[in-house]
Structure formats: C-alpha cells, structure tokens
Amino acid sequence: MTVVCLPDERARQLVGAVDGLTVVTWDGSGPEPPHLAETELLVGSYTRPALSPGQLAGLPRLRVLQVLSAGVDSWLQVLPPGVTLCNGRGVHGPSTAELAVALVLGQVRDLPRYARQQADQDWFDGPRESVCDQRVLIIGAGDIGSRIQSSLVALGAAVTLVGRAERPGVRSMEAVPALLPVQDVVVLAVPLTDQTRSLVDAEFLSRMKDRALVVNVGRGPTIVTDDLLAELRSGRLRAGLDVTDPEPLPKGHPLWSAPNLMLTPHVGGGSTGWPTRAYALVTAQLRRFAVGEPLLNVVT
Amino acid sequence: MTVVCLPDERARQLVGAVDGLTVVTWDGSGPEPPHLAETELLVGSYTRPALSPGQLAGLPRLRVLQVLSAGVDSWLQVLPPGVTLCNGRGVHGPSTAELAVALVLGQVRDLPRYARQQADQDWFDGPRESVCDQRVLIIGAGDIGSRIQSSLVALGAAVTLVGRAERPGVRSMEAVPALLPVQDVVVLAVPLTDQTRSLVDAEFLSRMKDRALVVNVGRGPTIVTDDLLAELRSGRLRAGLDVTDPEPLPKGHPLWSAPNLMLTPHVGGGSTGWPTRAYALVTAQLRRFAVGEPLLNVVT
C-alpha cells in the first residue's frame, strides 16, 4: 500500500482517486488518520503553517513533500534529509503577477490621488505618468516574473528580466547594480534564499532614480525594511508591497504610516480559483508518483 | 507654397523641417500667423477645444485635419465637407490601455479596500478574486483594446474581443448580448459614434452578472449615466470610469458619490511621453502629405 496525504477533504474531492495510491487527509491539526505514519507523499496545506519537525518525524517513510505555494522557505526549514521538495509553481503565478501589475499601475497612475479627488469631487486631470514611457526591471524570471513582463510589455513598457543565470532575454543578478540607475520601476518576484535575503538594502536603493518605484510580491525579507522606510519617508522613492518583514505587520509598525507606499496584506496568491489550479497540479503529480515518472516542479 | 499648421512652437520643434512644406503655428487662440489662410493640413491641439466652424471657414484650402487623440468626436462635428480626417491612433493607446488595466485590476483586486485597511493598520487578507479566474469582454478591437487584451491574457484572464466586424479573433457587436451574461468584466474602448452612443443602457446592464465590473476608457456617452448609477447604487454592479457623461463632472453630480465606483478624471491618454509619440506620427504624416503618399490613420 502506497499512502499519500492530502491536507483536507476538499482536496480529496478535487483530486479524486488515483490508481495505486491510498489517500489519507491531515493538515497538521486535529486527530491523526489511520495509516498516516505510512505516508510517502505529503501535500502541505496552503492555508496552515508548515508541519513541525516533530510532526514530520512521525512520517518515517516520507519521500516527497508537495507544497502549494511558489515560495517554499517555511517548509525548507523543516524538510527532512532525503525528501524531495516540489513547489506550486503556476498555481498562484497568474494571481500574484496580477497583483504586482496592480501595484505598479496603482502607483504609476496615481490611483490613491484620484481616490482622494473622487472623495473631494475634484475633477483635476493634471500631469500624469505612464509605464509606456518607463523602464521596468523585474527581478525573478520564473512564472510570475515572466507574466508581469508580458503584461507590461503589452502596455508599452521597456522591461528587463533578471534571473539567477544569464540566458537569452534574461540578465543575471550580477547585472543589477549597473541596471538600477535607469529604472523607473523595480519589481521583486523572487523566493527567499540566501541570495535574495536583504538583497534590497540601503546601497541597492541608493542606486535607484529619484521617484522610482519598488514593488515586492515575493517575500518580505528580500527588502531591508528600515532602509526602505528611510527612502519612503524622505520622499525619494515610492513602493508597493504585498509582503513585508515582519509579517503580518503588527499595529503601530512604521510601515503602516509610511508615505509613498501602497500596502496589501500578502494577497498575491490564494485568489478564489486557486484550489482548482492547485489540485490539477497535485493530480498530475500523484499520477507521476504512482507510476514512478519524474515529478513536476522539483525544487530540491 | 504648401502651408501646414501645427498647434504650437513645441510641436514645431519636435517635428523639425519637412521638405516642401511651410509650417505655421496656431491653436485657435491668440493672433493668426501670416499665411494661416493658406493652410492645407491642420494639426489640431490635443489640449485645447476643437476649432469653431467659423475658424475652420477661414481655412478655405484645408484638405487634411490631423487630430492627436484616438477619439475624434469633437472635431467630426465641425469637419468641413471634403476634408480628410486622421486620428492619433497609437499616440495615447498604450497609456489609455494601461489605465483600463489599472481600473480593472484596481477593482478586481479591491485596492480601495486595502487602502482603507492600510489607514486602519488592519492586516486582514480574507477572500479575494483575481482576473485569472475571470472572463473579460473588451468592446473595441483597435490599438487600445488589443493592448488591454494582451496585458490581461498574460495574467491568465479569458478575454473576448469585440469589434465592428467579425474577423478571426474578434466577435461582432451583434454577439454582445449573448456574451454578456458570462462576463465578469466588460471594458469599453470604443470611440463615440451613432453605434456606440448609449450602447450601455439599462437593458445592456441587466444582462450582466451580479458583481460584474464595467470599465470605460472611451467616451462617457457610451454609457447611459442614470442607468449605470441605478446598478451601482443597488450594489449589483461595479464600475471603473475614466470618462463620464457629462464631462468634466460638476460638483454635486451623483456619480461622485456613487458606491462601487472607481473614478479617474479622463487621464487615460496625455501621459508624460505623449508629445514624442504624437509628433513622430505627425512627422511621418507630413512627409507622406508632402510627396502625395497615402496618409496614415484616415478616419473619414
């Protein structure tokens, strides 16, 4: 018997039966189901925290951990040795890319100003900027970054994509310092790794143009919060953040009241249609697992 | 001597000299320059009203009127018989498409709600929708509509484009009533014509799904204001309007205080880089005019 564990009954319904696999459901809370200890492939819950090392130690036969988000940092910290980790590349990509574009356009087109004018019944058109006249640097050349690129290129922006390694159409991280001074917008769509933690610090920000915009839809700790705060408060830079460090942002944190900032509470992924996309991926993954085919979205 | 009239000195500088043409500048205000009456091609000002019929009567040799906006309704009303009208297709297209996408994403991703939460220091993520799970109908298959389509398709939306005539990838206006009931978003990117005036009336709106979104970046009178107001006030529909009827919206007009509405004061085009794009088109057009080649962007 090959046991796989899905997070909940809704997941089981969306996945259906897969030949050769016995499905149990558990998300780390509540009583443990029969055969849980025999689990060989575990699908982590999208909405609950990662399992603890103690809980994972209770799954000695675990070989594959499937996560439903693109970022895997919280699970990577507890991953037992020898277990293959697969991420949810593509599940939240469209929705997260969309929020990045919403934050870019919201700031560039000054939607908060027009909201104030609407409240004041003030029809003032005045000068206005547009990304079609701007340069955009996207750091992160995965599904999310590529979608942001396509969406903004369609609107006329001049977009440069940056990935881990140089390849046609993608610049490497080493090129970033030289690219920064001419960018109007910098979008961060990278997972949290040793290379991306604190990537955007005072020095990085100091290379950016006056009035340039930083948008982050990846992970909060990619930006050094205090360094960004200084630039927002001086009015030199603008930002759009869907992720912060710390997160959730506690009441009274200075980011809440920072000027020149559009802030959303980590709502890039997880939009209404995500379970359909997530469990289509899980279904495909289970079929591959059952017959021993190479798995999709292997991170490590 | 072939005289062409540009609106101002800035235009003259951006266009430069064109062999065979004598350039005068006038925008309908101020003293008339020498040789104005001999004008054969007139470039209308983007920022000032159309010339009056009396002013145009003073240009008896006028053969071509070049307008710098995509919409030509105000000039069409005064166009002397036999004069060729050319529009500014492409000049404001990227910027206007961008504002349409900004209004779609602003409403779908609920940016006004997150702005209120930011002011209240409230980190509440809650349920959220995404265009990647939605159907979008774009009425208007020109430069603006096509750019909106590409930008939203990159984000995963299922987009249907509607134009004047059916062609591959474009549905006709006749198909709209049957398409409406399944759309989450309807974007209007059409000029004002007999066909589009009052297109979106109570009956059109009644075919739309509950909570669907109407976005208009074309011309205000395409929507019957009172009919949309009724749907916004009942909470059944949402809207994002960059153009209104009347325009500018006077203080106290009920649209200002309508719920479920994101309103911008006709700022789709005219963004910072427009003169560069506009006078690149005018330069190309003058060269064609000087040598008798077919003109670009002929409307009528």
Cβ–Cβ gap A265/B114 under 8 Å: yes
Going by pLDDT thresholds of 50, 70 and 90, the confidence category of residue A59 is very high
Residue A70 predicted with pLDDT over 90: no
User: What's the first-to-final CA gap in chain A, in angstroms?
Assistant: 26
For residue B279, the surrounding DSSP H or E stretch is helix B274-291
* Spatial separation of the C-alpha atoms in residues A286 and A283, rounded to whole Å: 5
Going by pLDDT thresholds of 50, 70 and 90, the confidence category of residue A193 is very high
Going by pLDDT thresholds of 50, 70 and 90, the confidence category of residue A71 is confident
Query: Cis before residue A80, ω within 30 degrees of 0?
Result: no
The alpha helices in chain A, defined as continuous H runs, are: 9-15, 53-57, 73-76, 93-108, 111-120, 143-154, 176-179, 202-206, 225-234, 274-291
Going by pLDDT thresholds of 50, 70 and 90, the confidence category of residue A37 is very high
Nearest to B256 among A108, A121, A131 (CB): A121
pLDDT in tens, B22-57: 999 999 999 999 999 999 999 999 989 999 999 999
**Residues of A in Cβ contact (< 8 Å) with B118:** 256, 261-263
pLDDT in tens, A197-211: 999 999 999 999 999
Query: What pTM was computed for the model?
Result: 0.90
Residue B136 predicted with pLDDT over 90: yes
Q: In what order do the strands lie in the sheet with B2-6?
A: B21-25, B2-6, B39-43, B64-66, B84-86
Percent of chain A with pLDDT over 90: 93
Closest approach of A215 to chain B, Cα-based (Å): 15
Cβ–Cβ gap A121/B251 under 8 Å: yes
pLDDT in tens, A130-180: 999 999 999 999 999 999 999 999 999 999 999 998 999 999 999 999 999
Q: Is A33 on the interface with B (CB under 8 A)?
A: no
Closest approach of B131 to chain A, Cα-based (Å): 7
ipTM of this predicted structure = 0.90
Nearest to A132 among B102, B117, B273 (CB): B273
Ramachandran bin of B104, using left for φ above 0, alpha for ψ from -120 to 50, beta for the remaining angles: alpha
Q: Is B91 on the interface with A (CB under 8 A)?
A: no
pLDDT in tens, A279-288: 999 999 999 9
Mutate one of B48, B101, B147 to test the A interface: name it (highest A CB count within 10 A).
B101
Q: Is A172 on the interface with B (CB under 8 A)?
A: no
Q: Which of residues 201-260 of A touch B (CB under 8 A)?
A: 248-249, 251-253, 256-257
Residue B114 predicted with pLDDT over 90: yes
Residue B233: per-residue pLDDT: 98
Q: Which of residues 257-276 of A touch B (CB under 8 A)?
A: 257, 261-267, 270-273
Average pLDDT over chain B reads 96
Closest approach of A286 to chain B, Cα-based (Å): 24
The conformation of residue A182, written as its DSSP 8-state character, comes to: G
Closest to A13 (Cα-Cα) out of A283, A296, A226: A283
Which chain B residue lies closest to A150 (C-alpha atoms)? B154
Residue type, B47: T
Cβ–Cβ gap A147/B130 under 8 Å: no
**Residues of A in Cβ contact (< 8 Å) with B266:** 125
* Spatial separation of the C-alpha atoms in residues A102 and B106, rounded to whole Å: 6
Mutate one of A99, A101, A215 to test the B interface: name it (highest B CB count within 10 A).
A101
Q: Is A118 on the interface with B (CB under 8 A)?
A: yes
Percent of chain A with pLDDT over 70: 100
